[in-house]
Structure 1
């Protein structure tokens, strides 16, 4: 079995449970801004439409078609107008409130801390490589008690590019003084994490908790983080 020394984790949707944390935040905003008074949508509809809009905007962001601030500025405008809210009635600060509240949520995937403790005990060097925004990723790590596990946190802003761009992985290897042959990428996104790492010559672990069907060949595939100990 191949020997790895450096393990690179994605953060959102891999360790930090973005869906759970975002849903809690959206519920808070729905009630704080009394969005039910508009009478055109329910809380589940608000959450579902936000997720739909946000995912579409993140795909554009990862394709370098929109910027960070543009993503933040328009996601709630687009969500609420699609739900029938007039632009004049849009809460002016709802996007800023979401961005300030969300990173302080602490939900992580099952076995996250146990798996990281195990890997640290085995002497692996643990790092993060994330497309998430620099100003919130460190807050997420602190809120979920993940900071101390990682030696390096590589973000798209510090590297100047986004996964799956091979330059981001090259930057991560240079910053951690690792080689591709001794490195392993663990993430939930087939394009950004798996294919991105593959194109950079790095082995991959596809984290697939929903056991979604796909046709991408990966070095390893797991549906639970505790499965990492079966080959590491």
Structure 2
């Protein structure tokens, strides 16, 4: 797609799954926690490391979906995901190590892994645009992720759902982010991996939407542009 590049001044990015490699960072953290608590886990059930990780992914995805729909709170995610995961593994939730959730939050945001081509894309784009983060993630961990992965300095602003009282895809959070950045909608593009929270939200706010779809998942949603690699942003913008 041949964009009129001079019309854009501000690029807004989702963080998890778009720039910060949540799956890799989370998996490495879960492997570490499994090894730390291996004796307890195997004495209470038959959870292998693969089952442990798969159960977390399932429960965490479900809880985040509910959070994005404003059905649960931040505290519910943090307090319930490991007990729920144990229940899914047929291990009594009561034997879940008390500090497992805290240990996960202490380790995972400090993992430095990024989606391939993140740095190359940001290095190129920072010379032409104001770059911003717009995320439903929690403020206390998102800044940690960005600092430990060494991308914090690329961004002019970071807006989270907590600081606005609204979550993507709500139009209000996009308007808040643009107002804070001093950006007009027709000068702004949103890049993200979630069709609903990132793309539908950006479309409704009048922003140009770029869908990062590395698995080339078929869909019927309108997108301004679609990419399978962040390197494509260099050509797109």
TM-score, scaled to structure 1 = 0.97
Q: d(CA) in 2 for partners of 1:46 and 1:117?
A: 37
Structure 1: gaps (5+ residues): none
Aligned counterparts of 2:226 and 2:95: Cα–Cα separation in 1: 46
Q: Is the 8 A contact 1:129 1:154 kept in 2?
A: yes
Residue number in structure 1 paired with 2:34: 30
Taking the aligned partners of 1:27 and 1:133, their CA distance within structure 2 comes to 23
1:229 aligned residue (214, 228, 234): 234
Q: CA RMSD in A?
A: 0.9
Q: Pick from 43, 56, 62: which aligns with 1:50?
A: 56
Q: Which runs of 4+ in 1 moved over 6 A?
A: none
Q: Structure 1: how far apart are the matches of 2:74 and 2:124?
A: 35
Question: Following the alignment from structure 1 to structure 2, what is the Cα–Cα distance between the partners of residues 87 and 50?
Answer: 13
Name the residue aligned to 1:220: 225
Which whole-Å CA distance do the structure 1 matches of 2:92 and 2:118 have between them? 42
Once residues 42 and 235 of structure 2 are traced to their aligned partners in structure 1, the CA distance between those partners, rounded to angstroms, is 48
Contact 1:156 / 1:163 at 8 angstroms: preserved in 2?
yes
CA distance in 2, matches of 1:84, 1:40: 9
Q: Secondary structure at the match of 1:46?
A: helix
Equivalent in the alignment of 1:76: 82
Give the aligned partner of residue 180 of structure 1.
185
Q: Contact (CA 8 Å) 2:83, 2:94: kept in 1 or not?
A: no
2:16 corresponds to which residue?
Answer: 12
Name the CA distance, whole Å, in 2 between partners of 1:93 and 1:191. 33
Matching residue of 1:169:
174
Among 156, 159, 163, the residue aligned to 2:164: 159
1:125 Cα offset (Å): 0.3
Secondary structure of the equivalent of 2:19? coil
User: How many residues were matched structurally?
Assistant: 231
Deviation string 1:157-202 (CA, Å, 9 cap, x unpaired) is 1111100000000000110000000000000000000000000000
Deviation (angstroms), 1:49: 1.0
CA distance in 1, matches of 2:158, 2:108: 19
User: Residue 100 of structure 1 corresponds to which residue in structure 2?
Assistant: 106
The CA distance in 2 between the partners of 1:90 and 1:146, in whole Å, is: 34
Q: Is the 8 A contact 1:30 1:36 kept in 2?
A: no
